[in-house]
Chain A
Amino acid sequence: DSGVTQTPKHLITATGQRVTLRCSPRSGDLSVYWYQQSLDQGLQFLIQYYNGEERAKGNILERFSAQQFPDLHSELNLSSLELGDSALYFCASSVGGGRGNSPLHFGNGTRLTVT
C-alpha cells in the first residue's frame, strides 16, 4: 500500500460531461502529481502541486484543471469530456517539491470511461 488514496476507482460518463477525481497524498507528502495513462500515449505527466501551489505543468489540456487544498488533498477536474479522454488517471505524491531524490508514490488510479 503506497499510502496514496484515489477515488473513485472507476468512473463511467458520457461525452460532454464533467467529472472530478480526488487524491489524498501520503501523510507528510507536500507534492501531488497527476498522470494520465492511455494505451496510445503511455504515461503522461499532467500537472504538479506543491503545498497548495502549482509547481509544474505538463501535457494538460485546457479542459482539465486541478487544485490542491489546504489539507493537501487534490482534485483533478475534467470537463467537456471526449471519447479520447478515456484513460487511467494516476495521482502520485512526494515529500519534497522536486529537489532531492525522494521518489514518487503512486495511487491505484481512477479508470475513466467516456461513452
Chain B
Amino acid sequence: AQSVTQLGSHVSVSEGALVLLRCNYSSSVPPYLFWYVQYPNQGLQLLLKYTSAATLVKGINGFEAEFKKSETSFHLTKPSAHMSDAAEYFCAVSDPGAGSYQLTFGKGTKLSVIP
C-alpha cells in the first residue's frame, strides 16, 4: 500500500524567504508523485508532477521539487515566497501500474506567508 507523509501541518515563512514543504512517500513500486495546491474555497490545482523522467521537476508559479529515491522524498521548494503563495499544499502518490489514477494524498501543509 502506498502512503504519503507531509511533515508539518503548518509552515510560516516571511515574504521573500525560501519555501520548503516536505513530503516522504512509501511505495512498493517506482511511483508517480504530484504536488497540488488548494486555495480557500477552491479545488486542487496541479503544481507539478514526477513521472520517472528528470528527478528535478519544475512546476508553475516558480515551484520545483526533487525526487530522491534514496530518501523516498519529494520535497517542494520555492526560492522566494510571495504573499499569493499562501494556501494549502498536498503531496500525492499513485502507482503507475495500478491502471487507475487513484491518488493517495498526504494530510496537507498550510503555508502562511508573513509580510
| B100→A103 contact, CB < 8 A | no
Count of inter-chain pairs, beta carbons less than 8 A: 67
The answer to the question of A31 belonging to the interface, with a C-beta cut-off of 8 Å to chain B, is yes
| A48→B102 contact, CB < 8 A | yes
Contact with A along B91-113 (1 / 0, CB 8 A): 00010111111111111100000
Q: Give residues of chain A (87-107) contacting chain B, Cβ–Cβ below 8 Å.
A: 90, 92, 94, 96-99, 101-107
Given contacts A99-B96, A103-B49, contact A4 B102 (CB under 8 A): no
The answer to the question of A55 belonging to the interface, with a C-beta cut-off of 8 Å to chain B, is yes
Q: Which chain A residue lies CB-closest to B53?
A: A101
| B101→A48 contact, CB < 8 A | yes
CB distance from B107 to the nearest CB of A (A): 5
Residues of A within 8 Å of B103, CB to CB, are 43, 45, 104
Residues of A within 8 Å of B49, CB to CB, are 101, 103
Residues of A within 8 Å of B100, CB to CB, are 48, 55-56, 97-98
Q: Which chain A residue lies CB-closest to B101?
A: A98
| B43→A31 contact, CB < 8 A | no
Q: Which chain A residue lies CB-closest to B49?
A: A103
| B43→A42 contact, CB < 8 A | no
Residues of A within 8 Å of B96, CB to CB, are 99, 101
Residues of A within 8 Å of B74, CB to CB, are none
Q: Give residues of chain B (18-52) contacting chain A, Cβ–Cβ below 8 Å.
A: 32, 34, 36, 41-46, 49, 51
| A45→B44 contact, CB < 8 A | no
Partner of B105, one of A43, A94, A103: A43
Ranked nearest first, the 6 interchain pairs of A and B with the lowest CB-CB distance are A56-B100, A106-B43, A101-B51, A98-B100, A43-B105, A106-B44
Name 12 A/B residue pairs within 8 A (Cβ), A-sorted. Answer: A42-B108, A43-B108, A56-B99, A97-B100, A97-B101, A98-B99, A98-B100, A99-B99, A103-B49, A106-B36, A106-B43, A108-B41
